[in-house]
Amino acid sequence: MHPLVSIIIPVYNGALTVARSIKSVARQTYQNIELFVINDGSTDDSECRIQNSELRTINYLKQENQGVVVARNNAFNHAKGKYIVFLDCGDELEKNYVSECVNVLENEHNIHWVYSVTLQISDKDGDFNRFWSFHEFDIYDNFSRAVQLVTSMMRRELFEDLGGFDPDFQHGYEDWAFWVKACRLGYKGKLLKKVLFFYFKESQSRSNNLHQNMQYEYESKKLIISKNQECYNVIDTHLDKLLKDNLRIPLQCVNMKFRPLE
């Protein structure tokens, strides 16, 4: 018996890239998949591109523009899969992504999500093609930096227990905050040492815009800390300066004595 996997793609003005993501789902070697594409109030030709896709088994959802966090959470409410994958518009899954991840979760019951080595690909004006998300799972690494992308396969009960993605993260890092909370509650991830995911970092993407706006980036890190206070040291003036000057949360801010409940 092959368990059902739900894949969720949120789309906002993704007419030029959504087909790439849908095609990567269509070519999966694993067959028991339901795909949800949720249109987050797009003003371009996204709806037409989705509905004219070569994949005919799309569950198409629409909402007024409320942002990617709400879109993911709303689409999850329709999903029935034992395992969940959030795939952002424009990104791609390697053809064995689902089968490889399901194999881990079916056989290692102490693992709650699986992530793979990622090939990060720039847009046409970029110069940062590189491998990413290739570190073994470590809770303190997760507390310090956004080491994993949102596109990991997770058990349904993990998403339910955490209450989905936190809409307070309006500028980004909601995925980082999700993994921090998961680690704090004792959930565990596992790295698959294979390139199974292709992340297309566009120059105008939400994550890129966050990194370029140091105030938003700083505020998002402070929000992670405030929502997971037992995982971090008290932030004094010195540590606050380090927090402002680094993309990651410096290890000096992390409570290395914190131990999640087993």
- Profile the chain (262 residues) by mean pLDDT over runs of 10 residues: 96 94 96 97 94 82 96 98 97 98 98 95 66 86 92 98 96 94 97 94 58 80 96 93 90 95 70
Q: What per-residue confidence (pLDDT) applies to 256?
A: 96
Residue 210's pLDDT is what? 56
CATH 3.90.550.10 fits 1-90, yes or no: yes
Backbone angles phi, psi at 117, to 5 degrees: -60, 140
Res 90: pLDDT? 93
| Cα-based angle 166, 39, 170 (whole degrees, multiple of 5) | 25
CA nearest to 18, candidates 150, 152, 200, 195: 200
Q: What is the CA radius of gyration of the chain?
A: 18
Per-residue pLDDT at 206: 56
Q: Which CATH architecture has domain 94-262?
A: Alpha-Beta Complex (3.90)
Chain-centre distance for alpha carbon 178: 9
**Chain region(s) in the chain for CATH 3.90.550.10:** 1-90, 94-262
| Cross-strand bridge partners of residue 118 | 132, 197
pLDDT number for residue 203: 47
State residue 107's pLDDT score: 97
pLDDT at position 212: 60
DSSP 8-state class, residue 41: S
* CA distances from residue 257 to 41, 160, 239, 252 in whole angstroms, order as listed: 44, 28, 17, 12
Query: pTM for this one?
Result: 0.93
